Amino acid sequence: MRERISKLTQIVEIFSAKSLEDVEQLRLTYLSKKGEISALFDDFRNVPNEQKREIGQLLNVLRTKATDKINALREQLSDSAQTAETEDFTRTAEPLELGARHPLSLVKNEIIDIFSRIGFTVASGPEIEDDWHVFGALNFPPEHPARDMQDTFFIEKNPDILLRTHTSSVQTRIMTSQKPPIRVLCPGRVYRNEAISYRAHCFFHQVEGLYIDKNVSFADLKQALLYFAKEMFGENTEIRLRPSYFPFTEPSAEMDISCNLCGGKGCPFCKHTGWVEILGCGMVDPNVLKECGIDPEIYSGYAFGMGIERITNLKFQVKDLRLFSENDVRFLKQF
Ligand code: PHE
């Protein structure tokens, strides 16, 4: 017995393998139930009692050695197999830096999150649109000066095809394809022909909302917007609605929030008024409902629209709009 053990110990010392299959073969030959080391354990029964202690120890040492050796070989071989498959040897030695979410995406997601808690779902639509979805259906008569409110980019030679100037076009698509109740948010990029400066860009991002059902009133609109303002800018935020004009809503309003920097006391940011404007809103004009196939005698609705850049500026005090589209990681990493 002693001899067999020392012979096997020598063999274990020189275990070697070129592949994972070799390793498995070693395991089968020596450690499996029918393996040579296991056979020694079977014979252990016949060892005279006075030798059991010593032989038992030798056997255990042998088995541990064999197991360790086989595990080590297996690890070595699977490591090198992985290296060959996944390492990119053309990569530079510089550590790769992780990116961060764009501030506009962060704020957009927060807006969606807040409104989804009161039942709004998200819809999207094309950025290249036709005149009817952007203007026609929304109560902008042809040649109406209101079209000048949103300086439009037209696709060359075809004045019917244009870049959407607001995501209200997605609301047109929803109203013409779904039946009320409708409660939807339309986030997305919009385009307006404006000179690029620190405070204007030829594209920006909006989230617009639309709610149509029986008996929807201006009070519902105000409640939803107050809830949004408090969730977004803090519990102490107040709102103020000022009468305004949009072709697709009647009555229309613009909403201010109490300046989130000075808390409404007045500071350079709010031009010492204590208020900052954040969105446009109103009750959907019955003409719009009719045009989209919804009976204004039965249904009413509210709509609102805000610029994501605007909300982001209020939250993070970004002074120059152009930073949002320059992709400078030094800027993007700060959020
Ligand atoms: N569509 C308007 C804009 O882009 C915003 C708005 C949406 C106003 C809904 C009122 C109601 O300026």
135 against 96, higher pLDDT: 135
Q: Which of 170, 174, 208, 255 to mutate to test the pocket of ligand 1 (most atoms within 8 A of CB)?
A: 208
Query: Which residue in 202, 197, 220 sits closest to 303, CA to CA?
Result: 220
| Distance of alpha carbon 53 from alpha carbon 275, whole angstroms | 89
Enumerate long-range contacts of 105-110, CB under 8 Å, 24 or more apart.
106/312, 106/335, 107/308, 107/311, 107/312, 107/315, 108/187, 108/205, 108/207, 108/308, 110/232
> What is the b/e burial string over 101-112, where b = at least 16 CB atoms within 10 angstroms of the residue's CB?
ebbbebbbebbb
The pLDDT confidence band at residue 78, using thresholds 50, 70 and 90, is confident
94 CA distance to ligand 1 middle (Å): 47
DSSP helix/strand/coil, 329? helix
Is it the case that residue 13 has pLDDT exceeding 90? no
127 CA distance to ligand 1 middle (Å): 16
Going by alpha carbons, the residue nearest to atom 9 of ligand 1 is: 304
309 CA distance to ligand 1 middle (Å): 15
Which residues lie with the beta carbon below 6 Å from any ligand 1 atom?
Answer: 166, 168, 208, 246, 249, 280-282, 303-305
| Distance of alpha carbon 144 from alpha carbon 247, whole angstroms | 10
From the alpha carbon of 306, which atom of ligand 1 is closest?
5
* Claim: this prediction has a pTM higher than 0.75: no
Q: Which fold has domain 104-332?
A: BirA Bifunctional Protein; domain 2 (3.30.930)
Tell me which residue has tokens 């990681």.
Answer: 329
Q: Averaged over 53-78, what is the pLDDT? A: 88
Q: From the CA atom positions of the chain, what is the Rg in Å? A: 36
CA angle 188, 126, 99 (to 5 degrees): 45
Percent of the chain with pLDDT over 70: 96
Query: Within 13 A of 214's CA, how many CA atoms are on the CB side?
Result: 1
Residue 252: per-residue pLDDT: 98
Query: Which residue in 136, 135, 139 sits closest to 288, CA to CA?
Result: 139
Provide the Cα torsion 91, 97, 98, 99; round to 10°: -110
Provide the Cα torsion 244, 246, 249, 253; round to 10°: -20
Residue 97: per-residue pLDDT: 76
Q: Averaged over 283-304, what is the pLDDT? A: 97
- Map out the domains of the chain as residue ranges: 2-82, 104-332
Residue 293: per-residue pLDDT: 96
Q: Averaged over 81-109, what is the pLDDT? A: 81
| Distance of alpha carbon 17 from alpha carbon 24, whole angstroms | 9
251 CA distance to ligand 1 middle (Å): 12
Is it the case that residue 284 has pLDDT exceeding 70? yes
